[in-house]
Structure formats: structure tokens, C-alpha cells
A and B are shown apart, each in its own frame.
Chain A
């Protein structure tokens, strides 16, 4: 059991945790031939995780960009973004503070047993817009935050170990574990995932959708909203109407 930091005040507007937790996503993804990278400028919003009851449940509020390959399960993925984690979750509580992280995983296959790094903290974050990317560069796939390389995986980790030969889709998502976790920005300050783009051998390409079209909401929780916007329709706005 992770000790609760007594100095960390509870979030006044937080929603009570529900009894069970499963991963839920709010955002969008794209299948791409020859995919070697993805990027997004993600706005930091100090989203709330749900308020624990007598029996702790897993909860988190993540925002991330990824490249992945669905062959053999969901674990062929390289992703980076923000994390705000519940007190008993599989990502670090970190005293209730948000942080930048990355995760690499591969399914069982050419490189043996199923493997994952876990949610690896890079550094704390508390404000601003930050550029996140995962992209192939020379002999590595780099994880960059604000254009600084923060982590690397070898090319073979992606193109050999992921059965199916490398990345086949990119994702731009908020992720929650519990329905009580805040799904996006408050109603008055929608969280943006902007300049969404993916990289192939021919360069970077904007990931666009028709203006105001809806994103994927795997939980179909009516409080969680997501739609496309921006001057170039390459921006996702997310919000949770339980938070004014």
C-alpha cells in the first residue's frame, strides 16, 4: 500500500471512484502504412483522479501520443505524455503531482516473452503546452518532450520485436481507468491535443478530421466529450462536464 501524502489536499471537485476500473480512452487513432512516428502538442490540465472510498481502486488520468501495432494484443506500443495517478495505481502516485512519462511494450513473439517498461517517470510537470513525439531517428526510436530526447528504444525493439514488422497505427488519447477520473479539461477550459501529426518515410503528415466531428469514446461516458477543431482541423478538444 502506498502511503498517502498528508500534505496533499484532496481535489475539491473530484468525483468519487466507482467500484471497478478498466482502461477507457477518449481521443482518436489512425492506421498508417510505413508509420515511423507520431507527435502532438498537448495542453497540461491538472485533471483530477477519482476520490477513493474505503476500498482502493486503480485510477489515473493520462494524456498521450503513441505508435503501436495491434498484432497479438494491445501491448506493442511506444507512448509518451502526462500522467496523474491514483494513490494505489500501477503508475506512481508521485505525491499527487502530475508528471511526464513514457512506456514501451511488446507482445510475446519474435523477442520472446511479453515485456513492458512500466510507466517510467521523466519529470514533474505543472503547466503549459508541451510537444510530445515518438519517432524513428537513425538506429533508435526516440521519445522526445519539447524536442529533447528523453528515452530511446532500439529500432529492432519496434521493427523486429513487434510482430507484423513495426508500427501500423498512431494514437492521440486521454486515458482513464475509473469513471470517476476526469476525462479532459473542465467545461470552461477544454484540453487541447494540437498539431497532431504522424511520420512516414515521406515526412510529417497532419492528422485531420472534419471540424467538430466527434472522437472515439470507448467508455461512452456521457460526461466525457471530445471533438475535432483548430484552424487546420488537426486539434482534438477534450472536456469533462462534471468539472465547470
Chain B
């Protein structure tokens, strides 16, 4: 009797988990990005970002062995392995349109890149960047759109001259989606 109850409990737990997973995927879903990237058909509800946010099914992991030309172009625009070590990347993916950015990145809503169009790539790093303007940026985020690319201060920034630290402006919304880690 006890063994039967245990089996039932395990079955019920599995059903609940599956239902939760489907719900999470549905909630995390969004418009699929244009271009050659297709929706990932594997279960992805278990994918969580470095920051603990669910990774939507349509954001595929980037393979660092033999990355395709589009990934290499994004690496170049974000100076990956040209000042920014690839090892510092904690999340990367093509998320869809720039209007989707605030779901992934803490932005104010006033950033001109939000009005851009086309495929949008995001790279999050856990590390520090120095700038020739005299600042030290911690954990910034690179965004690449059709007409612009660069880094947003999504973490603290220190002015090295006077050692003052500024924190990011309040975001228009808290990001509720995450990016997958790189895969081999």
C-alpha cells in the first residue's frame, strides 16, 4: 500500500511538473524572431539564466565551437575576445525585435535602440570593463541591432577619477526573461 502511494505521488508530481513546465513556456513565450533561427522544440522550461530568470524557448543557445557568421559578427561588434573575454559571457541570444529588449535587459524605455528594427542580439557578461573615458563598468550588457551596437551600464559604474559609483537608472519594467549560457 505504501509503495502504491509512493508511485502515485511520484506520478502526480511528474504531471504537476510537466504542467508547470508547459505553463512556464507559454508565459515566457513571445513573438518568434525573424530570420533563420527557428523555435527550439526541446523542452526548455528548465532552462534558467545566470540570473535565475526563465529562458524562453525561442532563444537558442549559442554554440561557441564553429559559431556561424551572424554570431561571429555579434562577437565582433561587442569586442568579444578583443578586450572582452568570452569566458565572461553569462548569457547570450537573439531575442527577436528591439521592442522585446526590456523583457531581457533593465532599460528605461528611452533608449534609441528600442526604435530600431530587425533581429536583436544580447550579450550579458559578469566582469568589468574599463573605458577610455575613465570609467570602470561592472556587469554591462551588449545589445546589437541592425543600426547600432554597444554596451549598456546594467551594473554599477565607477568614475576612476573621483571613485564615485553610479547605479543604473530605474528600468521601465523588471526583466522577466533570461538568456541561455553559451554551449560547446
Binding site for B on A (CB under 8 A): 1-2, 21-23, 58, 60, 62, 64, 68, 73-75, 77, 79, 85, 89-94, 103-105, 108, 110-121, 154, 156-157, 161, 175, 177, 218
Contacts and interface: CB of A to CB of B under 8 A. Distances in A.
Contact of A73 (B109, B128, B129, B166): B166
Interface stretch (B6-14, B26-34, B47-55, B149-157): B149-157
Given A73-B135, A177-B130, A108 B159 contact: no
B154 A113 contact: yes
B176 to A, nearest CB: 18
B85 interface: yes
22 contacts: A1-B85, A2-B85, A23-B160, A58-B130, A64-B132, A68-B133, A74-B133, A75-B131, A79-B132, A89-B83, A90-B129, A112-B107, A112-B169, A113-B106, A115-B152, A116-B137, A118-B83, A118-B131, A118-B150, A120-B79, A156-B112, A218-B161
A24 to B, nearest CB: 9
Interface in B161-184: 161, 166, 168-169
A111 B112 contact: yes
Interface of B: 78-79, 81-85, 87, 106-112, 128-135, 137, 142, 149-154, 157, 159-161, 166, 168-169
B153 A161 contact: no
B150 A114 contact: no
A23 B130 contact: yes
Name the residue among A68, A91, A115, A218 with the largest chain B CB count within 10 angstroms: A115
A64 B87 CA distance: 30
Given A85-B83, A91-B83, A112-B169, A105 B131 contact: yes
A68 B135 CA distance: 14
A207 B79 CA distance: 34
